[in-house]
């Protein structure tokens, strides 16, 4: 099957996005990397905290889907987060065979600290842009988010 113009354009756009995210990451890593290293958590563990903080209680299976890990690996991940006091695990009131995982105050505080460090780093990177470029970027990102959210709602 031959590639269409739209396929080529999407590929180019994807490449430019990866390049932009790489530069943004390079310029904004700052304190977020220190917080990640200090916490000693893996990326999947940090993703699980972020999901729980942003979306509320989840089953181990739902967390496995979010982290793309096996059930066994996700159970181990949750065990470690429980031991560290970053999440709580309890029986699901609707299905006693399931366990519900919720973020603890300490886990939410760590996730918030990391998010604030990332926001500060991004703001510093965006300060390097000309004001007109920042304004155009905001408009484009508003449109992208609108389209992506509209597509997700369908």
> What pLDDT sits at residue 4?
62
**Which residues make beta-bridge pairs with 102?**
88
> What pLDDT sits at residue 147?
93
Going by C-alpha positions, the residue among 7, 83, 101, 10 that lies closest to residue 40 is 83
What is residue 50's three-state secondary structure? helix
CA distance 1 to 8: 13
What is residue 97's three-state secondary structure? coil
What is residue 130's three-state secondary structure? coil
Going by C-alpha positions, the residue among 55, 97, 50, 48 that lies closest to residue 76 is 48
- For residue 79, give every residue at least 6 positions away whose Cβ sits within 8 Å of its Cβ, in sequence order, or none: none
> What pLDDT sits at residue 6?
66
> What pLDDT sits at residue 2?
53
Tell me the torsion sign for CA atoms 94, 69, 47, 36: positive
> What pLDDT sits at residue 108?
95
> What pLDDT sits at residue 140?
94
Three-state SS sequence of 34-54: HHHHHHCCCHHHHHHHHHHHH
- Domains, the chain, ranges and CATH? 11-124 (1.10.10.10)
Positions of the chain with pLDDT lower than 50, given as ranges: none
pTM: 0.78
CA distance 144 to 148: 6
Take residue 82 and report the two structure tokens written for it.
Answer: 């429980």
How confident is the model over 61-94, as pLDDT tens digits? 999 998 899 999 999 999 999 999 999 999 878 8
């Amino acid at each position: 099957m031959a590639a269409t113009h739209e396929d080529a354009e999407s590929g180019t756009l994807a490449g430019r996005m990866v390049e932009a995210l790489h530069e943004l990451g390079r310029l904004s890593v700052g304190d977020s990397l220190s917080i990640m290293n200090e916490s000693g958590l893996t990326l999947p563990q940090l993703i699980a905290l972020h999901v729980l903080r942003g979306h509320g209680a989840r089953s181990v299976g739902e967390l496995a889907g979010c982290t793309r890990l096996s059930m066994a690996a996700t159970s181990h991940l949750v065990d470690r987060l429980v031991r560290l006091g970053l999440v709580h695990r309890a029986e699901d009131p609707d299905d006693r065979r399931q366990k519900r995982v919720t973020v603890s105050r300490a886990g939410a505080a760590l996730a918030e600290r990391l998010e604030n460090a990332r926001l500060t780093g991004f703001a510093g990177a965006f300060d390097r842009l000309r004001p007109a470029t920042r304004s155009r970027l905001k408009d484009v990102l508003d449109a992208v988010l609108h389209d992506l959210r509209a597509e997700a709602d369908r």
